[in-house]
């Protein structure tokens, strides 16, 4: 059986610079062996706004449903230039939901002097959030692993853009589980097809 590539929809809220989109698309294709569709110019979702130290922040959670709606049967990752937060945090770089198969990343606090470093940070946070959203990966204690929790950009700079061997093992298991689920789904579809068959004989 030919394995289909997973599908990821990259959702750009408002205007996202083209080099950011290009980097995001290529890292997702590379790290997840995914087919990536880019959706540009999405409106900001209706959300709660707060001000922390003079900076306007939007509730990260509000982005997940619109991203999931764009993703359909696949997975979705949103990018925003806005600063985002989630309850009990002063800010977040991103947020993910495996249930909604979607995530959001903010570039606001990833800004760097050079664009190379800026893009590198964005790539890491995207891989991190999709690791949560696609494979339900928890945070990893290995500071070099992309699934390590970033409290600051310094943490982001310390980690690589790839999964450590332990996380790769978890991904393998998650993939197997997904395949099993797929088999069950196919089985029930087959049953449904047979249920429809009726032969009348008089």
Residues in touch with Zn ion (CB under 5 A): 140, 142, 145, 147, 164, 167
Nearer to Zn ion, 38 or 59 (CB): 59
CB burial of residue 146 (10 Å; 0-12, 13-18, 19+)? buried
Beta-strand pair 49-52/75-80: unpaired
Q: How far is the CB of 56 from Zn ion (least distance, A)?
A: 23
Q: How far is the CB of 97 from Zn ion (least distance, A)?
A: 11
Nearer to Zn ion, 39 or 59 (CB): 59
Nearer to Zn ion, 37 or 109 (CB): 109
Cα–Cα distance measured from residue 200 to residue 202, given in angstroms and rounded to the nearest whole number: 7
CB burial of residue 198 (10 Å; 0-12, 13-18, 19+)? exposed
**Active-site annotation holds for 129:** yes
Among 14, 29, 129, 195, which one carries the catalytic annotation?
Answer: 129
The alpha-carbon radius of gyration of the chain (Å, integer) is 19
Structure tokens at 44: 């900001």
Nearer to Zn ion, 71 or 147 (CB): 147
Which of the 8 DSSP states describes residue 152? S
Q: How far is the CB of 149 from Zn ion (least distance, A)?
A: 6
Cα–Cα distance measured from residue 80 to residue 85, given in angstroms and rounded to the nearest whole number: 12
Q: How far is the CB of 46 from Zn ion (least distance, A)?
A: 25
Q: Which residues are catalytic?
A: 129
């Amino acid at each position: 059986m030919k394995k289909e590539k997973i599908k990821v929809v990259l959702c750009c809220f408002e205007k996202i610079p083209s080099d950011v989109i290009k980097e995001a698309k290529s890292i997702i294709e590379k790290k997840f062996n995914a087919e990536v569709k880019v959706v540009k110019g999405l409106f900001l979702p209706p959300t709660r706004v707060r001000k922390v130290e003079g900076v306007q922040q939007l509730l990260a959670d509000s982005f997940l449903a619109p991203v999931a709606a764009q993703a359909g049967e696949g997975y979705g990752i949103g990018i925003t230039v806005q600063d985002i937060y989630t309850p009990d945090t002063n800010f977040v770089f991103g947020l993910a939901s495996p249930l909604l198969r979607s995530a959001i990343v903010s570039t606001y606090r990833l800004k760097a002097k050079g664009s190379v470093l800026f893009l590198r940070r964005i790539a890491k946070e995207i891989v991190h959030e999709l690791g949560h959203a696609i494979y339900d990966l928890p945070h990893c204690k290995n500071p070099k692993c992309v699934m390590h929790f970033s409290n600051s950009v310094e943490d982001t700079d310390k980690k690589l853009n790839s999964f450590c061997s332990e996380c790769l093992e978890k991904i393998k298991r998650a993939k197997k589980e997904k395949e099993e689920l797929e088999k069950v789904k196919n089985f029930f579809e087959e049953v449904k097809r047979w249920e429809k068959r009726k032969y009348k004989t008089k």
